[in-house]
Amino acid sequence: MILYLDTSSLVKLYVEEEGSEEVRRQIAGATVVATSAIAYVEARAAFARKRREGGLSEEEYGHMSDGFGQEWGAFLAIGVSEAIVSLAGDLAERHDLRGFDAIHLASALALRDRTQSSVVFSCADGRLRAAAQAEGLDIPD
């Protein structure tokens, strides 16, 4: 199974929060775990925000950031091409999505089309989840 993680799901691997166990379960059943290249920046920004807001100590932040950097190469990172940007614009309008959410959805759709395989789309946002389902992606139970 190909599993696509948007940034909200990716961060759950590093920050213990509601849904973290579910994302780990999804990954255990996947043969490939993919995300957009933008998730790297989004995740690092989320970790830094957690630190600034007092949710992580400097030591915890350092371990999390280092671990994430070392593990990043294990993810199939989908580059942000002109085709993905164009599709993301269409998806943003069609489903009333935020910009980076639309890029994640476009990336997952491009992956599905490129591999001719089903892609399971994991995210925490209800609107993005509904859009992914409407576009024919599989959604975890």
Note the pLDDT tens digit of each residue in 108-128: 999 999 999 999 999 999 999
8 A C-beta contact, residue 22 and residue 123: no
Which phi-psi region, left, alpha or beta, contains residue 121 (left: φ > 0; alpha: ψ -120 to 50)? beta
Closest CA to 64 of 77, 47, 50, 76: 47
Domain that holds residue 82: 2-134
Kindly state whether residue 112 falls inside one of the protein's structural domains.
Answer: yes
Structural contact between residues 15 and 110, judged by C-beta atoms closer than 8 angstroms: no
Kindly report, residue by residue over 14-38, the tens digit of the pLDDT.
999 999 999 999 999 999 999 999 9
Gap between the Cα atoms of 50 and 46, Å rounded: 6
Mean pLDDT of 40-68: 95
Q: What percent of the chain has pLDDT over 90?
A: 99
pLDDT at residue 141 is higher than 80: no
CATH code at position 61: 3.40.50.1010
Dump pLDDT digits (tens) for 58-81.
999 999 999 999 999 999 999 999
The average confidence (pLDDT) of the chain is: 96
What is d(CA 23, CA 93) in angstroms, rounded to the nearest whole number?
Answer: 28
| pLDDT at residue 125 in the model | 95
Is the pTM higher than 0.85? The answer reads yes
Residue 92 placed within a domain: yes
Across 30-57, average pLDDT: 96
Percentage of the residues of the chain whose pLDDT score is greater than 70: 100
8 assigned to some structural domain: yes
pLDDT at position 64: 93
141 lies in some domain:
no
Inform me whether the pLDDT recorded for 42 exceeds 80: yes
